[in-house]
Chains A and B, each alone.
Chain A
Amino acid sequence: MDIEDDEILQGFIEESLEHLADIENDLLTIEEGGSNIDEDLVNKVFRAAHSIKGGAGFMGLTTIQELSHAAENVLGMIRSKKLIPTPEIINVLLIASDQLQSMIEDVHNSNEVDISAHLLPLNSIADGSFSQVTQEASTTEVKTKTKQIAGKSDPPPAIEIELPVEKAKPLAAKPKPKPEPEPEPEIEPELVSLSLQEDDEGDDNDESGSYAGTTPPIQRNGRSDSSSDKNKQSGHPGKAETTLRVHVSLLDSLMNLAGELVLSRNQLLQTIGSDDLRNAEAVGQRIDLITSELQEAIMLTRMQPIGNVFSKFPRVVRDLSKKLNKNIDLTIVGKDVELDKTIIEAINDPLTHLVRNSVDHGIEKPADRKKTGKSDIGLIILKAYHEAGQVVIEISDDGKGLDGESLATSAISKGLLTAEQAQAMSDKEKINLIFLPGFSTAKEVTDVSGRGVGMDVVKTNLDQLGGTVDIISEKGSGTTISIKLPLTLAIIPCQIIETGGERYAIPQVNLEELLRIPASQVQNRVERVGDAEVVRLRGTLLPLIRLSDVIGIERTYFDHSAEEIKPDRREQTADRRGKESPLFRNPNEPEKKSSQKGESLNRSVLDRRYSASSALNIVVVSTGSMKYGLIVDRLQDSEEIVIKPLGRHLQQCKGYAGATIMGDGRIALILDVSNLARMARLNSIDGSDRAAEVAKAAEDARRAHKDRQSLLIFKSSETEHFAVPLNQVERIEKIKRSDIEDLGGKRVMKYRGGSLSLICIDDLAMVNPLANHENLLVIVFNIAKRAIGLLAIGPIDAIEISAEIDDTTLNQPGILGSIIIDQHTTMLVNVYEMAQTLFPQWFAEREKPVFEAEPESDPPTILIAEDSKFFRNQVKGYMTEVGYNVIEAEDGVEALNKLHEYGDLIAMLVTDIEMPNMNGFDLTQRIRKDDKYSKLPIIALTTLASAEDMAKGQAAGVNEYHIKLDKERLMVSVHDYMKRRF
């Protein structure tokens, strides 16, 4: 065989492959139609086979010609309705077209390929001797043979050079040994007779070779035009495409834009010469516009419909489901969605794997489907659509779904996971286990899937494309795998950030949100658990990574006032001197802490821990199922950037996906967020979960350390939550609204033989009015030696809590502050203040402090030791209200220092029990040891007065125990001691 004109041969190959790609889908459609033959479609396939035959004859590719001729015969019979296309016949045709394809792809060796196994069934179909029985046998034979031939006809390129030598040999001497028996000789004459019949159809098949000198090229041109629109590029993504079909109109617009660009350049050069600034600006804008348009147009040339990949799946699903004895319908939606051609090429293998998976593992056998009440025909939907600037590809099946439990069990048995880890996992996380390397869900390894190329490879491939994959599965009713892909890889929108004085780009596909934690909240929201830092974000804990640490540069921060970058010396993000997670507190270091407290008194405004530049800038990024926060120095704009690869000396730096050139000509590195997480040893399974666990342990430990409050929670209106200290409550009564009597502008009710004054919270505080319920609750308090009832509605509950009380946000008359209980902001009611305001006469006869009787003497000074600012302010308020002087101390150590400092001036100590550094018991003991203070009255305040605590306190030398917020008793006691003093 001499192929002289390489160009013509190339043309033939391209055109034939195009035809074949069409043939495949068309055959499948014909199969679907069954006896209802679509003549146009059959004609199209017929013509395709015919033009391949013609071209092959012209080129001297006899084997291809022979095979396409045999196929054409069968198609001709279908066209003339002499034959009904059964799945078996279509099968033979499909296999023949596969063989044609493999021969055309390796056209130089095609003449040596043995095609007798294809000719046999084709010819027997044509002469009507094709029966069910022979079909079964020959199909399988053909299948195995196809594989072998495909293997042979795929030689390494080096062999091609030697071919001409081989070609010189006569064709009859077949160099390769054939495993199959030679075809029976009687086939040959039959073929001839068939082809003669074929002539009646009006196409001079056999002679096409002799006419070839003129006609075939013309035919080719005509045909390729008609088919090119439907099939711009045949789907053989396995091979790198070297050419691309681009619409002429697009080329024209590119040309126009290029022309405009040249014009603008000329303008620019002129402007630069003439020093005309204003004009330069205009030209600049023009160039900006043209560049953007040019960019878009060029991107468009790279866009290819995803149908190119999708189109091969009907065949894949058909063949596979036959093999597995399943009935599966494949629906394809969104063929026209366009993606960058590099993505189209790269998505092919992962998608094939996923579709095969759905067929093999997803859809059950028909019998099993019937058992579960489903139709025996399984459904796979392949869908592509645009969403939020990305393309989403969904592969959903209505099969058996994924069973998280069995996945977890399997992962444990494979040693990929510990049982404890599995226990802590959510269902979704369990399903995501199939992405773990070395995981295969099939119970047995089939040749369909389970060949060691698992879902982890799919995920890795998609990660490389900047895509994400997500699985939604419901056991028994199906699985949906959705893949999100960027439209293009060449130009991507990025968030620009700055750390250590350099800019970095984070691809926007990885970007979830930007978070700025003000300096004042850093202490509360950033915590250190184990060796990781986490931030509280809407109720969940997000692992934090400091970019400078991961890439190993000096920590810096950006000082907004000085507009410069300064080194950061803090070791922990949460380090604001004060807060530590008690779980990790070193018990041997109490002294250091106290010295810090002293220092904290003269904090200056310049102390940057309290200035704006100490706010944290966090970029919340996600890769696959993992989400984390990246701490950076500064957030800048988001920009569209062009990715440029890094040189080979930087390939070892895994943290970068490439680099880009910024507007000012400098380079910014593009961060690879999934590799950064790996570098920081953050992994998706234990990262966030473990953080959450440790945080919970830390939280528990801290709670155990802190004051616990017993609170009675209730409601007044439906929407607002209230609480009062439980120990102030005398009792709770259930009443009917009709029990309330309105007398003299006051609400009262009969209670234990007297009348009980009733108040509502909205009498004093600006809250919603009492709900209009028939059944009400009365919470009875004892204030100023009288009972008072607070009207409320249920549900009521008594809880112990150690949350921080916020005494600023919601502070108002009648409300002490607020506290978070079960995610509700709950207002703490100041019953005492309410009573005092609403019934001032009750307090008129109250005992006057003793010192008022002797105006010459200074009012006594009381030292209050209390770590909670809220309670300290409360108690201080009680004292100063009646005229006492107050000195405050934040803990035992400070109280002791103050006591030594002020000495005799202090007439009394009111101390909390639970305090950091030195608790109330220790403080009392220390004071009592000193003879000078042996007589000093000490009142201990506690939230929970247990008998044990009281005994302990008495042993330490506490004079009296009182409950925090029980102003009444505390003040009586204080007056009492002060009276004794004089």
Chain B
Amino acid sequence: MTDDKTTVDPRRIVELATFYVGEALCGMDILKVQEINKLMQMTKVPQAPDYVVGILNLRGQIVTVIDLGLKLGLGATDLTQDPRNIIVNSAGAHVGLLVRQISDVVSADMDRRELAPANMRGIQGEYFTGVYKTDNNLIGILNVDKVLSLED
């Protein structure tokens, strides 16, 4: 157990929305997720970073869609295999995260969260806040704000 927080969080159980990026099962706090869409018609943005798939019109808002696979260094997500687009609100703007497949919503006890390894199935450990073990899976909990930061 690695949780060394001194304050008592009343809500230790967090619902994780889980999804596959490449072969890796990742999760994020479901409250971060605004909605999950199928792939919509996108506009390519020439000269954008390669992980930006394009921009789309989400009810009048312009949303940048990021291929999470490319961003995390797992190779491009196959657009023909019906990927899903997770719309999250990060740093005041909506961003779409393209993932290979959506999986279950898992109730996770944050006290049972473990430190992220340096590397998880090829993903840099720094993108995770920790990992969570379920009966038959290992969920990497993504630090979405870190993934979407522009520092790298």
Instruction: Give the contacting residue for A653; candidates B41, B47, B63, B93; CB below 8 A.
Output: B47
A interface footprint on B48-66 (CB within 8 Å = 1, 0 otherwise): 1100100111001111101
Give complex CA distance A552, B45 in Å.
10
Asked whether B1 is an interface residue with its Cβ less than 8 Å from the other chain, the reply is no
Q: How large is the interface on A (under 10, 10 to 19, 20 to 34, 35 or more residues)?
A: 20 to 34
Contact B64 A667, beta carbon cutoff 8 Å: no
**A residues 644-699 touching B (CB-CB < 8 Å):** 644-653, 655-656, 659, 661, 665-669
Do A653 and B45 touch across chains, with their CB atoms under 8 A apart? yes
Q: Which of A646, A648, A666, A669 contacts B41 (CB 8 A)?
A: A666
Which residues from A are CB-within-8-Å of B150? 648-649, 651
Bound Cα distance A655, B48 (Å):
10
The residue of chain A having its C-beta at the shortest distance from the C-beta of B54 within the complex is A667
A541-574 vs B, CB cutoff 8 Å, 1 = contact: the mask equals: 0000000000111000000000000000000000
Chain A residues whose CB sits within 8 angstroms of the CB of B148 once the complex forms:
649
Residues from chain A with Cβ under 8 Å of B60 in the complex: 661
Chain B residues near A650 (CB, 8 Å)?
Answer: 45, 48, 52, 55, 64
Shortest Cβ distance from residue B70 to the other chain A in the assembled complex, whole angstroms? 12
Q: CA of A172 to CA of B47 in the docked complex: distance in angstroms?
A: 65
Complex: A649 Cα to B91 Cα, angstroms: 12
A319 at the interface (CB under 8 A from B): no
Q: Are the CB atoms of A649 and B52 closer together than 8 Å?
A: yes
Answer whether A649 and B47 are a contact pair too, CB < 8 Å, given A659-B62, A667-B62.
Answer: no
A649, B49: Cβ atoms under 8 Å? yes
Question: Which chain B residues (9-61) contact chain A, with CB distance < 8 Å?
Answer: 41, 43-49, 52, 55-57, 60-61
User: Is there an interface contact between A648 and B91, defined as CB atoms closer than 8 Å?
Assistant: yes
Tell me the nearest residue of chain A to B92, going by C-beta: A648
Asked if B48 contacts A649 (CB within 8 A), the reply is yes
Q: Does A804 belong to the interface (CB within 8 Å)? A: no
> Would you call A653 and B56 a contact (CB within 8 A)?
no
A666/B64 in contact, CB under 8 A: no
CA distance A525 to B68 in the complex (A): 48
- Contact indicator A552/B43 (Cβ below 8 Å): no
Contacting pair A502 B64 (CB below 8 A): no
Using Cβ atoms and an 8 Å threshold, which residues of chain A touch B57?
661, 665-667
Q: Is the Cβ of A649 less than 8 Å from the Cβ of B66?
A: yes
Find out whether the CB atom of A647 lies under 8 angstroms from the CB atom of B46: no
Question: Contact at A652–B49, with CB atoms within 8 Å?
Answer: yes
Q: Does B141 contact A (CB under 8 A)?
A: no
In whole angstroms, how far apart are the Cα atoms of A247 and B61 in the complex?
Answer: 30
Name the residue of chain B whose CB is nearest to the CB of A554.
Answer: B46
* Chain B interface extent, by class: 20 to 34
CA distance A668 to B62 in the complex (A): 10
* One of A502, A644, A645, A647 near B43 (C-beta < 8 A): A502
- Give the distance to chain B from A598, nearest Cβ to Cβ, in Å: 39
Q: Give every chain A residue within 8 A of B139 (Cβ-Cβ).
A: none
Looking at the complex, which one of A502, A645, A649, A665 makes contact with B44 (CB distance below 8 Å)?
Answer: A502
Chain A CB within 10 Å — which of B43, B44, B61, B64 has the most?
B43
The residues of B that contact A656 with a CB separation of less than 8 Å are 45
Q: Is the CB of A647 within 8 A of B47?
A: no
Report chain B residues within 8 Å CB of A661.
Answer: 57, 60, 62
Asked if B95 lies at the interface with its beta carbon under 8 angstroms from chain A, I say: yes
Residues of chain B in range 61-100 having any CB-CB distance to chain A below 8 Å: 61-64, 66, 91, 93-95
From A547, which residue of chain B is reached at the shortest CB distance?
Answer: B46
Cross-chain contact of A667 among B43, B49, B52 (Cβ < 8 A)? B43
**Contacts A644-B62, A647-B64, A661-B62: A667 and B46 contacting too (C-beta < 8 A)?**
no
A residues near B95, Cβ cutoff 8 Å:
647, 649
A647 to B91, CA, bound (A): 10
Q: Say whether, besides A644-B62, A646-B64, A648-B93, A551 and B55 are in contact (CB < 8 Å).
A: no
CA distance A669 to B52 in the complex (A): 15
Chain A, 131-150, contact with B by CB distance < 8 Å: what is the 0/1 string?
A: 00000000000000000000
Enumerate chain A residues within 8 angstroms of B46, measured Cβ to Cβ. 500, 551-553, 653, 655
Across the interface, do A655 and B41 meet the contact criterion of CB distance under 8 Å? no
With the chains together, A669 CA to B48 CA distance in Å? 12
Residues of A within 8 A of B44 (CB): 502, 553
On whether the beta carbons of A647 and B49 are closer than 8 Å, the reply is no
Shortest beta-carbon distance, A404 to chain B, in Å? 38
The verdict on A646 contacting B47 (CB below 8 Å), with A659-B62, A661-B60 known, is no
Report yes or no: A647 in contact with B41, Cβ–Cβ below 8 A. no
B63 → chain A closest CB, angstroms:
7
Verify B43–A666 contact, CB threshold 8 A.
Answer: yes
- Determine how close the nearest CB of chain A comes to the CB of B46; give it in whole angstroms: 4
Q: Contacts A649-B64, A649-B95, A659-B62; is A552 near B55 (CB within 8 Å)? A: no
Whole-angstrom CA separation of A186 from B48 in the bound complex? 72
A-B contact pairs, 8 of them (CB 8 A): A502-B44, A644-B62, A646-B45, A647-B62, A647-B93, A652-B48, A666-B41, A667-B57
Question: Which 9 residue pairs spanning A and B have beta carbons closest together?
Answer: A647-B64, A551-B46, A667-B43, A644-B62, A553-B46, A653-B47, A661-B57, A649-B64, A659-B62
Additional 10 contacts, C-beta under 8 A, given A650-B55, A665-B41? A500-B46, A551-B47, A553-B46, A646-B62, A647-B63, A649-B66, A649-B150, A650-B48, A661-B60, A668-B43
